[in-house]
Amino acid sequence: MLKKTIILVLFAFIMTSMSIGLAADKKTDVEANRKVIAACTKAITANPNNAGAYVDRGKAYQNINQLELALADYTWAIKLEPKNAGAYSARAQIYYDTKRYGEALTDYSSTIELVPQDMEAHFRRGVCYYYTDQYELGIGDLEQVTVLQPQHAGAYLVKGVCYQKLDRKEEAIKAYQGLLANVPANKQTQEAIDAAKKMLKALGVES
């Protein structure tokens, strides 16, 4: 049984690693995004089949937290270009952030189908599998990430938790130890390293 405090540390790290960065000057950021929205709206008016303009406007809406408008733009872009991986990925992120994990899974799967080498999509789909109690499928995605990106701290952590949910203690230990062995310590990774050490300690292993 995972301790509540450890779960909070783990998923605080995941949310940080998956979040969209905000500019330091929020007023300037909002103004810049509104200019993008205006420019894209003008482009769409001139050419309603401009899928790229819908995606760019969707990103600008997303940046200022107008998520329903962003979703509408991404959905329209996908209708115009069913193989637009960027639109699927961006829409999946909104679904994830709003805890619509089933829809996020569908869109991350579409992204991966179009761009199989997109390891961030594999990671995020793996996290969605965790949230929908599909631990084996999550491990499959996360294993790919740790093989191809051995310094991806989040993938080791979520993989370890999935193994614990399946009562596969030894494999969970190996996942956390893999993080400590492969991920260099720095400001960005320290929280993940600390979480892995806490997980190992909870499993009776000294790091």
Q: What pLDDT shows up at residue 22?
A: 39
- pLDDT category of residue 128 using cuts at 50, 70 and 90: very high
Q: What's this model's pTM, rounded to 2 decimal places?
A: 0.87
Burial class (CB in 10 A: 0-12, 13-18, 19+), 99: exposed
Instruction: Tell me the average pLDDT across 189-194.
Output: 91
CB 11 within 8 A of CB 54: no
Residue 116 in tokens: 């199989």
SS3 22: coil
Residue 170 parent element (H or E): helix 169-182
Domains delineated in the chain: 27-116 (1.25.40.10), 126-207 (1.25.40.10)
CB 161 within 8 A of CB 2: yes
Q: What pLDDT shows up at residue 3?
A: 54
User: From its phi and psi, is residue 167 left (phi > 0), alpha (psi between -120 and 50) or beta?
Assistant: left
